[in-house]
Structure 1
């Protein structure tokens, strides 16, 4: 029954693809090109089966068997020799689709059926921005492009940096040699900042402006704390039933360098240190129980994570695999912090950082 239902869903999705594409009514050829870069979990991911004639399945985001597919194909282990996190399932390759000049992967994260069932905000990412820009005269493949990436990986992974360099070159050529405006959201800003630090020769050749939305150059300590200790969910209420469980996401992200690179920079010269605070029941010298507020600096917080995850494990293929706080990834992230601290915006490149105060970072970009 489940197989039949999935076949029906795929047929409906294919039908919708033919219906929803409309010709663009207005194009402004004078516009400078824009490249959109999403944040964590903001790219569609496909699993390509190595043994089944390259069979492709969307594993992020999907509605049917979502939790099962994530655990089966996206759970991974970190390889300190390469800095890459590698899927436990060795029969698949995880790739980002390049359709629509990279925009498909970052537009609607379930581009066909799910948003019709459970509501647009859960899976719409850059969609509203793309729609508005097309109205302004931007054109896909000429002045509007996207860069999706495997958000499990380090933001400075050499393969990702090489892909981004090639993307900038292709956008530059496709637009007729015009310099590029890069707009990135959240963790995408860390990726672009890593690139600007590591590829100073490329950045001035291709960039005209760099715009960050909800980006923190010194990490997102509250986000990481919640992820390491409680797991992560992108939706609330009844809609969670259609998505990945918080526990499954938690087990995956423990082995993702990108999450460690979002930690509060341990050696940053903070004006206001972001303390981890929580209440703990303790006994005083007289044996009397008291509820006390404890505070930990970014460096001290690492010890909290180690203790909380010391017995964490995941069952995969009938085997229990230990999954503690990964100190090898923390060492890699430490080098990333240093790379980020050396990043500079060239004097001729305009820089913008758009953010809100006292507001949670939205998953949707408006």
Structure 2
């Protein structure tokens, strides 16, 4: 492994609007590159510009804590810090990959987040997060912590092939149980399922049964992107080692989409399987609103809830009109409560969404949302 130390100019990346998948207004990567070396990781793709050999070489932003301190200090900001969670991890690194035990950038960042009373969402595959449970509990007392564990399967043998250096699925599940015992909201991102391997009904069912056994607060599902070039070449080499016959199957669903997406028919197929299995367990398919309600003002809360509802309606029925209303409400420059009797003047708000918005304003939730969640 090669380690490159780098002086970062900035750490926090501000999103245009709150991401309803992760509830984040900001995200940050303290490292670039990931030694978990998952065969399917799209961080390997050329457009991420990760230095060195992905899967072994790591870039360390050694001054990240000092930069984060400056960025979170309200005395250094002309505009108030946006509401929403700070997402740590994902993308091109795992914030708890083994090198964190040496540099401790994540723990130092969490100390600063605690100091400024910010909510944080951590996405990881590693049980190294257990080192920081004490700190996460302290942050959770005054703000909010969400921890999400990424899985492609709970099958130990498959994981050893496609996630060779990651914490085993069983260890991840045990860490979820420990975090839940400490009162920390914790769930699973079943992303990605690996086509023709872990997207089978019995394999998705295994993940649901495991999630229920450890008390996961949510289980979020997604397919696998496979971008042409370095990512696809690496994955196909690993796939050939596993089962060379599958290469032909992959060529039928991956057709050089710019974003690496499979054909729509495949997404429809796996989403249908996911939906049918999810109905047996009633584990939320998005981070449920009770987890983030107290962290957002009314406009942002309604916007996020509607965006989640947009996904849920599309998953169940194929079409939804809630997405545009969500975007418009997020962009409002005045409190939505001032428009209580004129909601239809908001772009995208029709009779059904008006009804849902008023229900949220009155009760804090929506029965339709709760039913589909």
The structure with the greater share of residues assigned to helix is: 2
The structure with the greater share of residues assigned to strand is: 1
- Which TM-score applies when normalising by structure 1? 0.30
Structure having greater relative contact order (Cα 8 Å, sep ≥ 6):
1
- Which TM-score applies when normalising by structure 2? 0.30
